Amino acid sequence: MTVCIFAASSSRIDNEYGIVAARLGTLMARQDMDVVYGGGGIGLMGKLADAVLENGGKITGVIPEFMKEEGWGHNGLTDTIVTADMSERKKRMFSMSDAVVSLPGGIGTLEEMTEAITLKQLSLFDGPVIILNTLGYYDSLLEFIDHMIKHNFMRFEHKGIWEVVNTPEEVMKALNKKKSNHEEWRRIAKI
């Protein structure tokens, strides 16, 4: 299984987030799951990548050319794919992945995570979408999504598109679940 991870590049965050990202990377490597991520060398991305590598795992970074030129990439990855831009980066990451896991992050991570949800809502991505809600980071967003549903901007049924977990161990349990029958989410996308 290849898992796409979206995560913060910020290194100015509470240390607990980094501990959780490293734990997830360790668990994924030990279960022989391949990781695809944004290619960064700092923040949660760096912690995740270092842990995967330290535990003998395989991790591919997908990074836009301008980020590579800025020196934002991780230098020790199993493989690095350089893309022309951010849009191509996401397309490559989704096309390589069987599942998506979103760790806490900034606006870029939020955009990537919501695109994963949108692609699944339109039946253009079929794998699990898992939100790792470390320290309740995504509580306000999840409350806002409930607000969208309450006001009919999103169907209640679409809450089944993603799974919210609180620990790396719960991420692994969610990834290892027997895949349920394919849900044709597109059928009910129109409100």
Q: What is the CATH number of the domain that holds 67?
A: 3.40.50.450
Instruction: Count CB-CB contacts under 10 A for residue 85.
Output: 11
Average pLDDT, the chain: 95
Residue 56 lies in a domain: yes
> What are the tens digits of pLDDT across the range 60-80?
999 999 999 999 999 999 999
Contact 21, 11 (CB under 8 A): no
Residue 185 lies in a domain: no
Confidence label for 182 from pLDDT (cuts 50, 70 and 90): low
Residue 182 lies in a domain: no
Q: What is the DSSP string of 8-62?
A: ---SSS-HHHHHHHHHHHHHHHHTT-EEEE--BSSHHHHHHHHHHHHTT--EEEE
CA angle 158, 92, 133 (to 5 degrees): 45
Domain hosting 101: range is: 2-176
**Whole-number pLDDT of residue 189:** 77
Q: Domain total for the chain?
A: 1
Residue 188 lies in a domain: no
> What are the tens digits of pLDDT across the range 79-135?
999 999 999 999 999 999 999 999 999 999 999 999 999 999 999 999 999 999 999
pTM of the model: 0.95
